[in-house]
Amino acid sequence: MVFATSFAHAAAGSTRTQLRETLRHKREGLPQRGQRDAALDVALENELRALQARCIGAYCASRGEYDALRVLARVGAALEWPWRIALPVVQPAVRGMRFCVWAPGQALREGPYGIEQPVDCGAEVEPDVLLVPCVGFTEDGLRLGYGGGYYDRYLEHRPQVLTVGLAYDACRVEGLVAQPHDRPLDRVLTETRRYLRAASKP
């Protein structure tokens, strides 16, 4: 599948808040969205099959994000579940989040920020691989999120966790300056590319 060429968005001259709004609008208005999602499905499936993971942290897609859960469930079933799936439960009072075991078909409810999360967090776990949604990203793994810092705080003391960002080509940014709390992603998958951070795990 050939997609219309996407050029990186220049960060210069924009605040992070402005960048988020611009990139969210670009994502929500992407042409060929179904085909782009299908291409990202293939990229993610290839990545999942190559991973040696016991527990994969994922997310419930919102605000135009790519939905990774359907691929994660399908590949997990095909491989006879070598891993568990965990979803985040956000704790706004302490500005943190924890991950709870979840299986396809189990109930979800709307949580903080309108994002679905497990109804029953029966078992809290620590994922060894974390799929991370991106509003924007750079080729070297710098992620632009929604500004809450939840992923950065979660990963701050967990350097062993392999992080895989999921995004669209149109959300690539050039010239984004890292902030002290930013934790670069180990790799980023889009509908056409696989970006590896130079210092990331193989």
**How high is the pLDDT of residue 198?**
63
Render pLDDT for 83-116 as a digit per residue (tens, 0 to 9).
999 999 988 878 889 999 999 999 999 888 888 9
Cβ(125)–Cβ(182) under 8 Å?
no
Alpha carbon distance 98, 91 (integer Å): 8
More confident residue, 92 or 129: 129
CA distances from 17 to 23, 110, 115, 126 (A): 10, 24, 20, 30
Render pLDDT for 151-184 as a digit per residue (tens, 0 to 9).
999 998 899 999 999 999 999 999 888 888 888 9
**How high is the pLDDT of residue 201?**
45
> Which runs of E-coded beta strand occur in the chain?
9-10, 55-57, 84-91, 96-102, 108-110, 116-118, 124-125, 129-133, 136-137, 143-144, 162-166, 173-174, 187-189, 194-196
Report pTM.
0.92
Render pLDDT for 136-154 as a digit per residue (tens, 0 to 9).
999 999 999 888 889 999 9
The arrangement of strands across the sheet holding 129-133 comes to 124-125, 96-102, 84-91, 55-57, 129-133, 162-166, 187-189, 194-196
Average pLDDT of span 186-197? 95
Render pLDDT for 45-96 as a digit per residue (tens, 0 to 9).
999 999 989 999 999 999 899 999 999 999 999 999 999 999 999 888 788 8
User: Domain spanning 15-192: which CATH class is it, in words?
Assistant: alpha beta
**How high is the pLDDT of residue 176?**
87
Render pLDDT for 24-42 as a digit per residue (tens, 0 to 9).
999 999 999 999 999 999 9
